[in-house]
Every structure is written in structure tokens, then in C-alpha cells.
Chains A and B, each alone.
Chain A
Amino acid sequence: MGTYLLRRLLATIPVMGVVALFVFALLHLTPGDPAAVIAGDYASPADVERIRHQLGLDKPLHTQLGIWLWHVVRGDLGTSIFSGLPVTKLIAQRMEPTLALTVATMTIAVVVAVPLGILAAWKAGTWIDRLVMVFAVLGFSIPVFWLGFLFIYGFSIRLELLPVQGYVSFKKGLLPFLKHLVLPSLTLGMVYMALIARMTRGQHAGVLREDYVRTAYAKGLKAGAVLLRHALKNAALPIVTIIGIGVALLIGGVVVTESVFAIPGLGRLTVDAVLHRDYPVIQGIILVFSGVYVLINLGVDIVYTLLDPRIRY
């Protein structure tokens, strides 16, 4: 296992290297000029040219790539062309809201969806099953921005229970922190609830038809013990995969939800950087995202071994 982990961790280096090269190439092939954005609408063409020179954007591409890679291997992702702040600082500022939203969303989704999926599988073919599946289809089909605005209208404007927008760090109090997270994580959670509930139901329904489940019932075990202790463990692998992908997607940025609730997460940082062609920020974020994806995949693989003793690396 140790060797496997080491091998997987080492494999992240070439993966991130290839990602870095691709991102750099794609960015510089895309039209758009950060110097023109910085200079503003009323700057003269000569001023734009001077700024481009000052930022080193007039250097040959291979020189710019070399400079960037040299900094990256020394752990420096560069500084934002616009704000002049280090990219690592910008990412760190956005990491807490992103992680908080991810954890809250996934917690809500798993806590609600897994029992619902199990219930639907247990009561397969009944009205309960159909109700759960209707909820799942709706949750997956309703656009996030629409649901977000609906929640804002209901809970913030009409009932005045929760804030409309923004993020408050947990360092400033647990209650405001949670209050600001409820609506965005509920909005986002609906999508993942739907996905996980469907997946759980499908896997569980298959497992419940297995001989060992029938044997468990024949031994006189209660439904709860069969469903949770015996069936769930065997149905869990695809569910864990879905949760892993969900976590990676959430960390990678949920731009619409972040925009609707004005949460300063990584998704908005990415989109802002793309719209302004802030090359160092885009390159830095994508590099971090690729690392996160690799690590989450690794985490999912490790969880497999805990759930299924037959899996060994």
C-alpha cells in the first residue's frame, strides 16, 4: 500500500506538468490582452503597448513559459497582473469559502440522499420509491440559479430568516457562518442529493436481490441490519465515487451558485481571471485544481480498500 501511495503521488508530478503546459498554451492562443484591460477603455494604444512591455507580455512565448515554470518549481505561482497580489494569497483567500461550501453541501447531500436511496430501494415499486425518484429527477433538473433565487425570495426577502448573500468566516462566529451557508449549500445540495439518491437506490436495489441478502433475512436479521450493515457496504463503491467526483467539482468551482449568493469562492476567482485574462491567476488555479483532482481520486481509491477488503493495491 505504501509503495502504491508513493507511486500515485509521484504520478501527480507529470500529470500537473502536462496540465501546466496545456493551460499555458491554450491561454496564450486565446485572443485577449490583459494590458488592454488594465490600461482601461480610454488609454491610448501606445500606453497599452508600454504596459504590455512592462508586464513582460511582449516576450517570446517560450521565454514567458520558461519564466513561469521556473517560478512554479520553486513553489511560486506568480502574482496577479491586476491586483499585484501573490496568486497563492488569492487562492488561499478563496479556499475557506470553497471548502466550507463543499463540506456543507456534501454533508447535506449525503445525509439526506443515502437514506432516501436506501428507502426507495427497500420499497422499490411502491409510491415511496416513485416519490423519491420524482424528487431526484426534479433536484437534478431544476436550474441552480432559479432555485437559488427562489430560496432567496422565500427565506431572505419574505421570511427574513437568512441572509441574501455573502460569506462570513467561521472565525467571526459560528452562527453567522452557518446562516450564510444554509441557502447556497441547500441549493447546490439538491443536485447532489438527486444524483446520490438515484445512485444509492440503483446500487442498493441490485444488492438486495443477491443471495446473501436473502440468507441474512432467512437468518432472522432485522431489515435495518440487512440494509445498513450488509447491503450498504456492498452498494457503497459507486456512491463513494460519485461523492468523490462531487467534492472535486465543488472545489473546482461552482460559479453560478457562488455568483447568485456572492460567495468569494474559487469558481468566481477563475471566471474573473479568465474574463480579464489574468494569466498567472488562471494558470495557478488550474494547476491547483489538477492537484486536487489527483488527490481526491487517490482518496477515493483508498476508501475502496476500507469498504471492500477484496480490493488491494
Chain B
Amino acid sequence: MRRIAWVAALLVVWAAGAWGVTLRVIPHADLKNLDPIWTTAYITRNHGYMIYDTLFALDANLQPQPQMVESWEVSDDGLTYTFRLRPGLKWHDGTPVRAADCVASIKRWGKRDGMGQKLMDFTAALEVVDERTFVLRLKEPYGLVLHSLGKISSNVPFMMPERLAQTDAFTQITEPIGSGPFIFKKDEWVPGHKVVYVRNPAYVPRPEPPSFAAGGKRVYVDRVEWLYIPDPATAQAALTAGEVDYYERPPVDLLPLMEKHPDIEVAIIDPLGTQGWLRPNHLHPPFNHKKARQALLWMVKQEDYMRAIIGDPKYWRVCGAYFMCGTPLETDVGAEPLLQQDLEKARQLMQEAGYDGRPIIIMDPTDIPILHGATLVTARLLRKIGVNVQVQAMDWSTLTSRRAEKKPPEEGGWHIFHTWATGADVASPVANIGISGGCEERAWFGWPCDERIEKLRDQWARTTDPQKQKELVIELQRVLYDVVPYVNYGQWFLPTAYRKTLRGVIVSPVPFFWNIRKVE
């Protein structure tokens, strides 16, 4: 009899899933690497937020707030920052978080990340004072110290134990130990299928309410499983059937089905959205000529792109701001060519740029529907302005390799490719790598080259006065519309779908899984 009771009890526990509350999530991609400093992949950044913590974090006003830091002081000359860590912080292996760990982590991040490199350029010394205190000494005043340490998107300055942070910045760390709200279960990780996290019982959240990446990270579930389901229809069916709770990025064509479902909430949780980039190659004709790039501005009509790749107008907007609409740096200065399509003017500018009818090679990543759609729209518009277009189909991996080619397009190079960047990566002149005018040596693929851009970005970074920063952004955007490092083909907001049993989903450019309760 007792045996039967035992079995019955076990069955009840099993049926109730009483091993704990599990949040099942379909992430936007498969987690392939574990080191958020080694790669800029968003899925690894999201993994980073699960298991690591940051010194500072941006709130909903894009202002840095302390996270691991308890207090900090800035010297009167603005050259010395003294940071003191919160007491009781622990790594997942039980050892305490020390100032030395943070110093090593900042140094490793500073070798890889653009904002980190900039901060290191200004840094004279980074020194440990005691177990919980460290000092950052600058060579000259720099306005972005806290913004850099609270950078919200890739590469995020996550704190790691010193012994791991001393790993070469170009070598992947394979021991994922952080001090964040979740612990990674490496033994249950099946790349391409499943990632498992459990609640970190030793984590001490801040008292403030959550706001973007800032505030208290209270965890109300025992376990989070990321289940990578590559087929969107299956993913949608799994959400509908209640097998998963949260579908990070459902494709837009499946949204109407989910919007009608009584148990599913479809919501935009990333208020900054995503910006589309049409990237011309500045090294070779015709786009080495400013007028040819300006022709692209007059040619593009954002509405055409957005209707083709997103569809429902509630998920996109026309936006002429290089630093996104809806951010503190939004401005439409200089955006007239982009916002008023004039194909005749575009045709004329191409001629003035000396376009000689050579085939314009557009790389088309057919495995990414949004970028494939944007490519087809660009090809059609280019043909309308008399350009001879050659669309070359390939997968994204091939594109990422070929875009590094600086050879002339007819010898294996390229003229145009499309990509996108999220608001968190675009909303600041320093973070936005697409606008860099650093030429072949320092600019991103496409290699724009313009001293004015670099000078203004530098001035913006040094300025601590918000009003002066805004003025510099207006001037910078004017220059950007003259140089045209890339053409912004629209701003869109991809919604997230989740079961209505979830409460407390945080609105933020990055999906976070703390603060979520699962109620039945």
C-alpha cells in the first residue's frame, strides 16, 4: 500500500511539473557560442544577460544606472572615477565578486568592443583599491564612461571572474561562470536544440523596479529552457498548444493567427525597434562617388521596403533619423532626400557620378527573408533609375565572408548588401558602427571614408553636456546625409508572442527573463 502511495505521489509531482516552474522560450536563434565578448551575436548577448551581471545598466530613458555598483564618485576634474561594488555579490561557483574581477573584465571587453576601445583610449589606468573598490583614471575628460560600462547591446561589458577574464579577447571562454540571476546548465546544453538555465539562489537583486536592463532582477521561475525550433509554423503550433510560453520573434506572416488566439498576447517589447541598412561599397565606382550614394537616398522609399518585408503598418514607421526615431538623439535634419522619393533626380545623380552602365552587384542572402525582400525592392528601384543590376543569391554565411572582399566587384567584390541593426546598437554616434568614416583601416564593411564624421563622433564622445551633444548630433547627421555611409530603409518593430499566463514581461530592446511570473 505504501509503495502505491509513493508511486501515486511521484506521478502527481511529475504531472504537476513540480520539479519547479519552467519558462519555455523559443529564442530568435540558436545559441552557438557562450562568450559574449568573443562574438557580437545577439543570441550570445541575451545568454550573457542570463548568467552575467553588469556594473551599470541602461534604463528606459537610456540613462546608465548602477547595477553591480553600490556607489561611485567622480573627481572634480572629471578624470578619476571610483567604483564600489555591492556587498554580497557571488560568482556561480560560490566565490565572492572582487574588484580585480571587474578590472580584468573591463580590460578584456575593452579589447573587443568599439565603445570599450574608445574608453580604453581615454583610460590612463584601471586600478584595484581593495576587494570591493576600483578606480578608473582618464587621460582627459570623457563623457561616456558610465554609458560605456552600461552599454546595453553587443558587446555588453559583462563581469566575469578574473581567471576567465584573463583569457585572450580573441579566444572563446568555455567555462560560463557569472554572477547573474541565472546559472547555465552546461551538461544539459544541446547546441541546435536546447539551452537550460536555473535560478541563481545566491543572487541578490537591487531594490529598484526593473527598467530595461537596470533595476532589480527578481527571478520568479525555477528554470528557463530555450528551445530552438527552426520551423516558424511548428514554433507557432507549439505556442498555441501551450508547449512553450514565449516566442521571441515570430515571423510577421504568422502574427494574424496568433493575434486572434485568446491565450496568446502579441506585443512589441522592443520600443527602439530595428533599422534597415542598405550598404553601398565606398571603395569602387559608382558608389565611391558621393553623388551615386546620394542617388540611393532619392531612390529609396521606406514605405515600399516596409510594406514588402514587414507588411502591417502597425509594425513599422518611416524614419529619417540616423540614430533612430523615438530616441533622445532623434532628428530629421538633412533627411529630405530620403523622405521624398524622386527617381528622376536619382537617375540624374547617377549620371553625374559617372555611372557607365556596368552591372551593379547586389548580394542577396536568400536564407534571411527580410533581407531577401529588401534586396528585391532595391533591385527593382535601381532598374527604374536606369541601373544595370545583377542580384547574386547566396546564404548569409557566404555574404559575411564576401562582404570583407575589397576587390573590385567584377573580381569577386560587391556593390551593395542589406542588413539591419537594432536601436540599441544604432542610437548613439559611438555605438553605431555603420556611420564610421574610418576608411579601409577602421570603418565597417563598405569602408566609408570621411574625416568630418570621425571628428564629430570624437567630439560627441568627449562632451559631457547633453545640450552640446544634441547640437553635435544635428551637425553629424547633416554630414551623414552628405556622405551617405548607408541608406536607412525603414524602422520596424518585431513583436513577441507569449502565453497570457506570463506576467511581468519587461519592455526592453533585449529580451530579459527575470521579473516574469507564470500563473496558471
- 0 or 1 for each of B225-245: is its CB under 8 Å from A? (1 = yes): 001111101100110110100
Contact A149 B233 (CB under 8 A): yes
A165 at the interface (CB under 8 A from B): yes
Interface-facing stretch out of B134-142, B341-349, B394-402: B394-402
- B interface residue numbers (CB < 8 A to A): 30, 32-34, 38-42, 44, 112, 114, 154, 168, 170-172, 174, 190-194, 227-231, 233-234, 237-238, 240-241, 243, 367, 394-398, 400-404, 419, 421, 425, 433, 442, 444-445
**Of all chain B residues, which has the CB nearest A32?**
B397
Using A39-B39, A164-B238, A260-B231 as known contacts, list a sample of 12 further A-B pairs with CB atoms less than 8 Å apart, ordered by residue number in A.
A31-B398, A36-B404, A40-B42, A40-B44, A80-B191, A84-B33, A85-B191, A93-B190, A149-B237, A153-B237, A259-B231, A275-B396
Do A262 and B39 contact each other (CB < 8 Å), given the known contacts A82-B32, A82-B191, A165-B243?
A: no
Q: From residue 267 to 311 of chain A, which have CB atoms closer than 8 A to chain B?
A: 268-269, 272, 275-277
> When the two chains form the complex, which single residue of A40, A165, A275 contacts B41, counting CB atoms closer than 8 Å?
A40
Residues of A within 8 A of B172 (CB): 84
Q: Are A41 and B241 closer than 8 Å at their CB atoms? A: no
Which B residue sits closest to A256, measured CB to CB? B231
Q: Is the CB of B243 within 8 A of A48?
A: no
Interface-side segment among A13-21, A155-163, A215-223, A225-233: A155-163
- State whether B230 touches A262 (Cβ < 8 A): yes
Q: Which residues in B have their C-beta under 8 angstroms from that of A164?
A: 234, 237-238, 241, 243
A272 touches B154 (CB 8 A): no
| A262 touching B404, Cβ below 8 Å | no
Q: Which of A40, A82, A166, A261 has the most CB of B within 10 A?
A: A40
Looking at the assembled complex, report how far the CB atom of A14 sits from the nearest CB atom of chain B, in whole angstroms.
Answer: 32
- Evaluate contact between B243 and A166: CB separation under 8 angstroms: yes
Contacting B at CB under 8 A, from A73-106, are 80, 82-85, 90, 93
Which B residues are CB-close (under 8 A) to A269? 192
Contact B171 A54 (CB under 8 A): yes
* A139-159 with Cβ < 8 A to chain B: 149, 152-153, 156-157
Bound-state Cα–Cα, A31 to B403, Å: 11
**Any B CB within 8 A of the CB of A313:** no
**Are A90 and B237 touching (Cβ within 8 A)?**
no
A260 and B33 contacting across the interface, CB-CB below 8 Å: no
Partner of B33, one of A38, A43, A160, A272: A38
Residues of chain B contacted by A127 (CB below 8 angstroms): none
Given contacts A39-B39, A42-B154, contact A54 B114 (CB under 8 A): no
Residue of B nearest to A80 (CB): B191
What's the nearest-Cβ distance from chain B to residue A134, in Å? 28
Residue of A nearest to B24 (CB): A166
- Can you give 19 A-B contacts (C-beta < 8 A)? A40-B44, A41-B421, A42-B40, A42-B154, A45-B445, A50-B170, A51-B170, A83-B191, A84-B33, A149-B233, A163-B243, A165-B229, A165-B234, A166-B243, A260-B233, A261-B234, A262-B227, A262-B230, A268-B230
A-B residue pairs, 3 tightest by C-beta: A40-B40, A33-B401, A264-B193
**Is A126's CB within 8 Å of the partner chain B?**
no
Name the B residues within 8 Å of A153 (CB-CB): 237
Cross-chain contact of A152 among B168, B237, B367, B445 (Cβ < 8 A): B237
Q: Is A44 an interface residue (CB 8 A)?
A: yes
Known: A42-B154, A275-B367. A31 touches B394 (CB 8 A): yes
- For the complex formed, measure the closest distance between the CB of B249 and the CB atoms of chain A, giving whole angstroms: 16
Which partner residue on chain A sits nearest B400 by CB separation? A36
Is there contact, CB below 8 Å, between B397 and A38? no
Question: Which residues of A approach B to under 8 Å, CB–CB?
Answer: 31-34, 36-48, 50-51, 53-54, 80, 82-85, 90, 93, 149, 152-153, 156-157, 160, 163-167, 259-262, 264, 268-269, 272, 275-277
Q: How far is the CA of A216 from the CA of B290 in the complex (A)?
A: 90
Q: A259 to B404: give the CA distance in the assembly, Å.
A: 31
Residues of chain B within 8 A of A163, CB atoms compared: 241, 243
Q: A259 contacts which chain B residues (CB < 8 A)?
A: 230-231, 234
Beta-carbon nearest neighbor of A263 in chain B: B193
- Expressed in whole angstroms, the Cα–Cα distance for A157 and B42 within the complex equals 32
A42 touches which one: B367, B396, B421 (CB < 8 A)?
Answer: B421
Q: Is chain A's binding surface mostly helix, strand, loop or mixed? A: helix
Interfacial chain A residues near B442, Cβ < 8 Å: 44, 46
Q: How far is the CB of B417 from chain A (nearest CB, A)?
A: 11
Closest B residue to A97 using CB positions? B193
B466 to chain A, nearest CB (A): 26
Flag if B230 contacts A84 (CB, 8 Å): no
Given contacts A82-B191, A157-B240, A164-B238, A43 and B404 within 8 Å (CB-CB): no
User: In whole angstroms, what is the CA distance A33 to B405 when docked?
Assistant: 12
Q: Are B404 and A268 in contact (CB under 8 A)?
A: no
Q: Least Cβ distance of A97 to chain B in Å?
A: 9
> What chain A residues lie within 8 Å of B42 (beta carbons)?
40
Cβ-neighbour of A276 out of B32, B171, B238 (below 8 A): B32
Which of A32, A33, A51, A264 is the one whose CB lies under 8 Å from B190? A264
- Bound-state Cα–Cα, A37 to B445, Å: 14
Set B39, B193, B404: member contacting A33, Cβ < 8 A? B404
Residues from chain B with Cβ under 8 Å of A43 in the complex: 39-40
A80 vs B191: C-alpha distance when bound (angstroms): 10
The answer to whether B397 touches A275, judged by C-beta atoms less than 8 angstroms apart, is yes
> Is A262 within 8 A of B192, CB to CB?
no
Name the residue on A nearest B236 (C-beta): A164
In the complex, which residues of chain B have a beta carbon less than 8 angstroms from the beta carbon of A275?
A: 367, 395-397
Give chain B residues whose Cβ lies under 8 Å from the Cβ of A53: 170
List of A residues within 8 angstroms of B425 by Cβ: 42
Contacts A262-B229, A262-B230, A276-B397 given; does A42 touch B444 at CB 8 Å: yes
Interfacial chain B residues near A272, Cβ < 8 Å: 30, 191-192
**Contact B230 A157, beta carbon cutoff 8 Å:** no
Contact, CB under 8 Å: B39 / A40? yes
Using CB atoms, name the residue of chain B closest to A31. Answer: B398
By CB atoms of chain A within 10 A, which of B170, B194, B395, B404 has the most?
B170
> Which residues of A have CB within 8 Å of B38?
38, 51
Q: How far is the CB of B389 from chain A (nearest CB, A)?
A: 21
Query: In the complex, A38→B170 CA distance in Å?
Result: 11
Determine the residue in chain B with the shortest Cβ distance to A45.
Answer: B404
A46–B443 Cα gap in the complex (Å)? 10
Name the distance in Å between B414's Cβ and chain A's nearest Cβ: 12
The distance in angstroms between the C-alpha atoms of A45 and B172, with both chains bound, is 18
Q: Which of A50, A83, A268 contacts B32 (CB 8 A)?
A: A83
Would you give the shortest CB distance from B298 to chain A, in whole angstroms?
Answer: 27
Of the listed residues A34, A163, A165, the one surrounded by the most CB atoms of chain B closer than 10 A to its CB is A165
Q: How far apart are B43's CB and chain A's nearest CB, in angstroms?
A: 10
Q: Per a CB cutoff under 8 Å, which of B192, B194, B397, B444 touches A37?
A: B397
Residues of A within 8 A of B34 (CB): 83-84
Give the complex CA separation of A260 and B193 in angstroms: 13
Given contacts A31-B402, A38-B39, contact A157 B241 (CB under 8 A): yes
Q: Which residues of A contact B41 (CB under 8 A)?
A: 38, 40-41
Q: Smallest CB-CB separation from A44: which chain B residue?
A: B444
CA distance A85 to B41 in the complex (A): 18
- In the complex, the chain A residue whose C-beta lies closest to that of B421 is A42
Contact B33 A82 (CB under 8 A): yes
A156 to B235, CA, bound (A): 13
CA distance A40 to B419 in the complex (A): 12
Q: Kindly state the separation between the CA atoms of A268 and B193 in the bound complex, as whole angstroms.
A: 9
- Assembled-state Cα–Cα distance A38/B37 (Å): 11
Q: Which residues of B contact A260 (CB under 8 A)?
A: 231, 233-234
